[in-house]
Amino acid sequence: MRRLSPDALRLALPVLAFVALLTAVFVLRPNAMSYNGFHLLFKLAVPIALATLAQMVIMAVNDLDLSIGTYVSFVACVTATFLVDQPVLGWLILLASVGVYAGLGVVIAWRQLPAIVVTLGMSFVWAGLAVLVLPAPGGVAPSWLAGAMGWKPPLMPLAIVLSILIAVLAHLLLMRSSLGVLIRGVGGNERSVARAGWSTLRARALAYATAALFAIASGITLVGLMTSADANIALRYTLLSIAGVILGGGEFIGGRINPVGAVVGAMTLLLAGSFLTFLSVPPDWQIGAQGAILIAILGIRVLLNRLEAQG
């Protein structure tokens, strides 16, 4: 039998976990096996997958972003207010925030700061800005956005189409382009990238800006789905995105990332929630059961790694 490459093996586990959960959902609720069933199950997949990809780009340079959730919330607030009334100003605000992210990358690389603490500080800043933009829950989705996110393409629900599209784009961007090689190289061995003549400062700035772009897409699509926003709309994305990246086969250090895995990981976490509802797990225990599923999948991964090391 031909051996799978380690990367393929890494991807195999999240995919298997996803398929297993999906099968279980279908067994419990055969009705879910339809266009509408998929539509409801994966409605929120796109923003979660995009936030997970944003986190993954940061993790590719060995950093961790504790402000993703508040940043996505901020973007959502801007989308539901400025993008409706003053689109030009709204896009400028979002563009400026990408600049802030790139600046963070520069400062972190230049002064060798711990990214966890800097992004921790930024999470306060984004939360404050979100409250200033939208003091009370509300706002509306721009009509073009609500229309686009409400579109029902033939054959497959929009969420699935977009998830596949996002996974392919992220794969091309991070695994097949020279930008991706540079970013992952900084995570793998920063010194060797520097010795080879690249600017690691620039690489980090690019990584952070790329992450900001993914996070902006996440916030905008989220508003498109929810049709309004509030300053706390995406706070749980910070932890969900970290879990999704790890679930999808990424690592904390060494620039080892897997964009397709991250998207699948995010969708698996989303599906776990529906699965537990269908099992009629009391809502009290749902978060706990999600934690247990996370632990189980990671446990299986360790087991597989050990088998691989032995064989």
What tokens were used for 296?
């189980």
- How far is the C-alpha of 185 from the C-alpha of 303, rounded, in Å? 28
Least separation in angstroms between residue 35's CB and another protein is: 32
Listed residue (9, 111, 182) closest to 190, CA to CA: 182
- How far is the C-alpha of 68 from the C-alpha of 122, rounded, in Å? 9
The CA distances from residue 234 to 44, 45, 132, 237, 308, in Å, are: 11, 13, 16, 5, 38
Q: Is the Cβ of residue 107 or residue 148 nearer to another protein in the bound state?
A: 107
Q: Is the Cβ of residue 180 or residue 265 nearer to another protein in the bound state?
A: 265
If one asks whether residue 311 binds another protein (CB under 8 A), the answer comes out as: no
Least separation in angstroms between residue 301's CB and another protein is: 9
Provide the residue type at 86 as one letter. Q
Question: Contact, 183 vs 210, CB < 8 A?
Answer: yes
Q: Is the Cβ of residue 46 or residue 118 nearer to another protein in the bound state?
A: 118
What tokens were used for 105?
């990358």
Least separation in angstroms between residue 164's CB and another protein is: 26
Listed residue (138, 136, 160, 145) closest to 220, CA to CA: 145
If one asks whether residue 279 binds another protein (CB under 8 A), the answer comes out as: no
Q: Is the Cβ of residue 182 or residue 245 nearer to another protein in the bound state?
A: 245
Provide the residue type at 133 as one letter. V
Q: Is the Cβ of residue 102 or residue 162 nearer to another protein in the bound state?
A: 102
The CA distances from residue 216 to 106, 134, 157, in Å, are: 20, 17, 22
Q: What is the DSSP letter of 4?
A: P
Q: Which of residues 95-154 bind another protein (CB under 8 A)?
A: 107, 111-114, 116-118, 120-132, 135
If one asks whether residue 307 binds another protein (CB under 8 A), the answer comes out as: no
Q: Which of 87, 137, 153, 299 binds another protein (CB under 8 A)?
A: 299
Q: Is the Cβ of residue 44 or residue 130 nearer to another protein in the bound state?
A: 130
Q: Which of residues 48-77 bind another protein (CB under 8 A)?
A: 64, 66
C-alpha torsion sign, points 169, 172, 178, 179: positive
Least separation in angstroms between residue 33's CB and another protein is: 29
Q: Which of 225, 243, 257, 267 binds another protein (CB under 8 A)?
A: 243
Q: Which residues bind another protein (CB under 8 A)?
A: 64, 66, 107, 111-114, 116-118, 120-132, 135, 239, 242-243, 246, 252-253, 282, 284-292, 294-295, 298-299, 302
